[in-house]
């Protein structure tokens, strides 16, 4: 009878250890997954901030009658496309992030073309409101970069955690999947050639 109680206590202790291990691992995965959602929200906030600045920039530039309409239309269309692409934080797959980033790159390209075109309009370049908007856009681009880096750091911690043994067994059991990263834009590894002819 005494052996039966000892065996029962040993089994109960083992079950308690396994339960605690699973519970602790599961809760940590949930916390890290929530951290990714929070980091993603910060990324979206900064992209939204940039999108909110664009109408003011376009309206300021529109005041210059001979400004290229095609350039303005490109910025407006790129903004519309970028704001129509959204990702549910529970589906941060590499493909979803690539689609989101591609739409955002369209905005970046359109804004770059706009700012290059502005160089031909000294009055516009000197406009106080335009200068303030340009500074705000530059600051927002920096914030976007910081939030993307923070997001990638949080995702890396999560992915490493759920892929480590034995946590990967629990992750598979509970349906936790790896998340995607922001990648550098294609061609960014190539240094631009500068020529002063």
Q: How far is it, in rounded angstroms, from Cα 167 to Cα 177?
A: 12
How would residue 29 be classed by pLDDT, with cut points 50, 70 and 90? very high
Per-residue pLDDT reduced to its tens digit, 159-173: 999 999 989 999 999
pLDDT on residue 164:
92
Total-model pTM = 0.78
Element (H, E) at 117: helix 94-118
Residue whose C-alpha is closest to residue 182's, from 48, 80, 36: 36
Residue with tokens 């929530």: 34
> Cα(152)–Cα(83) distance, rounded to whole angstroms?
22
CB contact at 8 A, 118 and 124:
yes
What pLDDT digit, counting tens, does each position of 68-122 carry?
778 888 888 999 988 888 888 888 888 888 889 989 999 999 888 888 888 877 8
């Amino acid at each position: 009878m005494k052996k039966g109680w000892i065996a029962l206590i040993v089994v109960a202790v083992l079950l308690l250890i396994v339960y605690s291990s699973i519970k602790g691992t599961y809760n940590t995965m949930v916390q890290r997954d929530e951290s990714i959602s929070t980091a993603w929200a910060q990324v979206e906030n900064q992209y939204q901030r940039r999108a909110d600045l664009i109408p003011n920039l376009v309206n300021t530039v529109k005041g210059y009658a001979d400004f290229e309409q095609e350039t303005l239309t490109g910025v407006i269309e790129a903004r519309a496309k970028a704001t129509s692409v959204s990702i549910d934080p529970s589906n941060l797959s590499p493909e979803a992030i690539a689609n989101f980033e591609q739409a955002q790159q369209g905005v970046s390209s359109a804004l770059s073309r706009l700012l290059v075109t502005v160089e031909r309009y000294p009055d516009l370049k000197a406009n106080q409101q335009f200068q303030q908007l340009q500074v705000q856009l530059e600051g927002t681009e920096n914030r976007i970069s910081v939030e993307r880096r923070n997001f990638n750091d949080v995702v890396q911690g999560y992915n490493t955690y759920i892929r480590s043994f034995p946590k990967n067994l629990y992750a598979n059991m509970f349906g936790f999947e790896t998340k995607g990263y922001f990648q550098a834009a294609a061609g960014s590894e190539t240094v631009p050639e500068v020529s002063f002819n």
